[in-house]
Chains A and B, each alone.
Chain A
């Protein structure tokens, strides 16, 4: 027998020399990993801090206390008490009268106009709604909180620099004086902004709400899920379990992988050309948005579903076939339940991407300014990311915090959606 090249002692000396280097390499790798995690967390915390500190203001809005007199002489001068009369009355005059009653010394058109600018234009609609709901208010007095204008709101939230020259400020010196006076007597206060969560978009920042976009996103995503999940899973099952493996399936596979990498705006152009141009479906509708987003998410769902199907152990398939199950029974009874968690993971990823998409939806007109909250899948609407984009583009200072507020709502929507999906996936996961 040959003598070993090294003696036992020499071998150990060599091993000892390499050991320190190995530990050092491991230590270095751990440090890199930890550093990456900490850096990522820091950026995330910073991001959330910025969004929340900017956006939290959107959930509170300044309101102004007014002593309103529902003057029949203004609202219903003819005394008919007809609904049309009450509807078309000049409620702005009622608001003006209430303000003038509070500030009796204000004289002249210019001063009156400045005074009415303290109150939001929507205050008149608010009074109109109150009277229509309860016509017996006519001739009575009521203390009512109405929305202040966005300029007053910004001032109260401290976004207006009083040191600026008067011409560059949203409020004049005179208006600032009134604001301070009202504030001192407690007639101006920041209240929870119900309108932000319940109404649609508006040109006036104090009236703009997110609900229209939330409803649009909801309709679009529910429809996307209903379209893309069955189609994606069915395509994956067909390709993985039934299709013959030949050149055609290879070409299809390559193309599905390529589709996953196509820029999303291209899908928007396709939707514009085919769904709207060729099939004549309505513009700005969640229906078309969902169809475009379905095209976008299908590759993700198909790829993830195929991977999940591939991961099901072949012994389960053999067991089912050996029992005399047909191929479709094998898939439906045994393979699909085991692959479902993986398929749902792919769907969550796809839906999260669909929720955040704005570019393809711009192409099909979901970027339009829409005030009404959509009630169905063919009503014109917009979606949350597009609403963020629209508000971030608006010149009024009041939209800055609305933008961040909309991002908070978008994140909340995402969290709710993903939590639901994860809970659903947990139910399918059988660890036995």
Chain B
């Protein structure tokens, strides 16, 4: 895949021979901020415009603008190093923790800029939860893993309420039946797929509005992956979900909208069905047809 990117950079045309150019596919070169497709949605929860991210000298994200709708799944795809994870981490300001990282542009959550001085980062992360690539439960018991968020945010008045939150969160994450008899066992004793569902339970325990998922299934086997995908379909009823994935099949299965990133540019956004059947940009088409990647 890396060779493909380098060839692309060097201006080598990846267009396969023996194929006539299709008029419906845009040939135009990529230009920062010029995204193909409709980036807006009605009543968005997140509204991002002209977002640039720099890691020191490196310009990782260029003029990205996109809306994220409520109760739907947005999949972000693209080759490694294209900036999709970086963009995801902008949404709950996890990039703040990286020295030298600089984010400019406007990212509005429910109309309020998340970089506003009045916006507290702790509160933001309570509203925008995150599930990571590698399952990372705390080295504490299963119960404590789920109870941690409600506890630090003061969501439960007493022990009974806390028990109730833990119970319902595990249930919604589809983990309750498997762990109800061993809530005091360490969270790290679970299998990989169970750990990832524990991380999802931990995230929904603080009742966020948006859940960010950074390749949540890349360390899991197909059965565990299928369980998480089913879970996402259920969670979509209550939350907005943004998922970064390397698997185009997964993007096609779980998402309603898809965004394609390439070398820091947001190339194309659209309804998932449309992107996978009728991509409008050359690069999108090359990627989803597997000509690189």
Q: Enumerate chain A interface residues (CB-CB to B < 8 A).
A: 245, 313, 315-326, 329, 333-334, 337-338, 430, 432
Given A333-B148, A432-B139, are A323 and B132 also a contact pair (CB < 8 Å)?
A: no
User: What's the dominant secondary structure at chain A's contact region?
Assistant: helix
Instruction: Say yes or no for B24: interface residue by CB 8 A criterion.
Output: no
The one of B122, B126, B136, B148 that contacts A318, using a Cβ cutoff of 8 Å: B136
The one of A316, A329, A333 that contacts B136, using a Cβ cutoff of 8 Å: A316
B139 A321 Cβ-Cβ under 8 A: no
B206 A323 Cβ-Cβ under 8 A: yes
Stretch with Cβ within 8 A of A (4 or more), from B91-99, B161-169, B239-247, B268-276: B91-99
Closest Cβ–Cβ distance, residue B55 to chain A (whole Å):
15
- Kindly supply a per-residue 1/0 record for chain B positions 263-292, scoring 1 wherever the CB is within 8 Å of any chain A CB and 0 otherwise: 000000000000000000000000000000
B138 A316 Cβ-Cβ under 8 A: yes
CB neighbours of B125 from chain A (8 A):
321-324
Most-contacted residue by chain B among A316, A321, A324, A326 (CB, 10 A):
A324
Chain A residue with the shortest CB-CB distance to B137: A319
CB neighbours of B123 from chain A (8 A):
324
Given A315-B136, A318-B136, A326-B122, are A432 and B188 also a contact pair (CB < 8 Å)?
A: yes
Instruction: Say yes or no for B34: interface residue by CB 8 A criterion.
Output: no
Closest Cβ–Cβ distance, residue A289 to chain B (whole Å):
39
B139 A338 Cβ-Cβ under 8 A: yes
Instruction: Say yes or no for B130: interface residue by CB 8 A criterion.
Output: yes
B206 A324 Cβ-Cβ under 8 A: yes
Closest Cβ–Cβ distance, residue B40 to chain A (whole Å):
28
A321 B126 Cβ-Cβ under 8 A: no
Most-contacted residue by chain A among B123, B148, B153 (CB, 10 A):
B148
A315 B134 Cβ-Cβ under 8 A: yes
The one of B94, B134, B148, B199 that contacts A321, using a Cβ cutoff of 8 Å: B94
8 Å CB interface, B108-126 against A: 122-126
The 7 closest A-B pairs by CB, nearest first: A432-B186, A324-B125, A315-B136, A324-B126, A322-B130, A319-B136, A323-B149
In the bound complex, what is the Cα–Cα distance between A322 and B153 (angstroms)? 13
Given A316-B136, A432-B188, are A322 and B99 also a contact pair (CB < 8 Å)?
A: no
In the bound complex, what is the Cα–Cα distance between A313 and B129 (angstroms)? 20
Given A319-B199, A321-B125, are A334 and B138 also a contact pair (CB < 8 Å)?
A: yes
Instruction: Show 18 residue pairs from A and B whose CB-CB distance is below 8 angstroms, ordered by the A residue.
Output: A313-B136, A316-B136, A317-B97, A318-B94, A318-B97, A318-B132, A319-B137, A321-B94, A322-B125, A323-B148, A324-B125, A324-B126, A324-B152, A325-B122, A329-B152, A333-B152, A430-B186, A432-B188
A319 B132 Cβ-Cβ under 8 A: yes
Instruction: Say yes or no for B84: interface residue by CB 8 A criterion.
Output: no
Closest Cβ–Cβ distance, residue B87 to chain A (whole Å):
16
In the bound complex, what is the Cα–Cα distance between A326 and B152 (angstroms)? 9
In the bound complex, what is the Cα–Cα distance between A315 and B153 (angstroms)? 21
A322 B137 Cβ-Cβ under 8 A: no
Chain A residue with the shortest CB-CB distance to B132: A318
User: What's the dominant secondary structure at chain B's contact region?
Assistant: helix
CB neighbours of A326 from chain B (8 A):
122
Instruction: Say yes or no for B203: interface residue by CB 8 A criterion.
Output: yes
Given A315-B132, A432-B188, are A320 and B138 also a contact pair (CB < 8 Å)?
A: yes
CB neighbours of A333 from chain B (8 A):
148, 152
CB neighbours of A338 from chain B (8 A):
139
A324 B132 Cβ-Cβ under 8 A: no
CB neighbours of A337 from chain B (8 A):
139
CB neighbours of A323 from chain B (8 A):
125-126, 129, 148-149, 152, 202-203, 206
CB neighbours of A313 from chain B (8 A):
136
CB neighbours of A245 from chain B (8 A):
99
Chain B residue with the shortest CB-CB distance to A318: B132
CB neighbours of B139 from chain A (8 A):
316, 337-338, 430, 432
Closest Cβ–Cβ distance, residue A308 to chain B (whole Å):
15
Instruction: Say yes or no for B237: interface residue by CB 8 A criterion.
Output: no
B129 A322 Cβ-Cβ under 8 A: yes
Chain B residue with the shortest CB-CB distance to A430: B139
CB neighbours of A430 from chain B (8 A):
139, 186
CB neighbours of A324 from chain B (8 A):
122-126, 149, 152-153, 206
- Kindly supply a per-residue 1/0 record for chain B positions 184-202, scoring 1 wherever the CB is within 8 Å of any chain A CB and 0 otherwise: 0010110000000001001
In the bound complex, what is the Cα–Cα distance between A319 and B152 (angstroms)? 14
In the bound complex, what is the Cα–Cα distance between A430 and B189 (angstroms)? 13
Chain A residue with the shortest CB-CB distance to B134: A315
The one of B134, B152, B186 that contacts A325, using a Cβ cutoff of 8 Å: B152
Closest Cβ–Cβ distance, residue B18 to chain A (whole Å):
28
CB neighbours of B94 from chain A (8 A):
318, 321-322
A319 B138 Cβ-Cβ under 8 A: yes
Chain A residue with the shortest CB-CB distance to B100: A245
8 Å CB interface, B55-93 against A: 92
Closest Cβ–Cβ distance, residue B189 to chain A (whole Å):
7
CB neighbours of A320 from chain B (8 A):
138
Closest Cβ–Cβ distance, residue A90 to chain B (whole Å):
73
In the bound complex, what is the Cα–Cα distance between A358 and B94 (angstroms)? 51
Apart from the given pairs A319-B132, A322-B203, A323-B152, 20 other A-B contacts in the complex at a CB distance below 8 Å: A313-B136, A315-B136, A318-B136, A319-B137, A319-B199, A322-B92, A322-B94, A322-B130, A323-B125, A323-B126, A323-B202, A324-B124, A324-B149, A324-B152, A325-B122, A325-B148, A326-B122, A329-B152, A337-B139, A430-B186
Chain A residue with the shortest CB-CB distance to B145: A319
CB neighbours of A325 from chain B (8 A):
122, 148, 152
The one of A322, A329, A334, A432 that contacts B132, using a Cβ cutoff of 8 Å: A322
Most-contacted residue by chain B among A316, A325, A334, A338 (CB, 10 A):
A325
Closest Cβ–Cβ distance, residue A336 to chain B (whole Å):
12
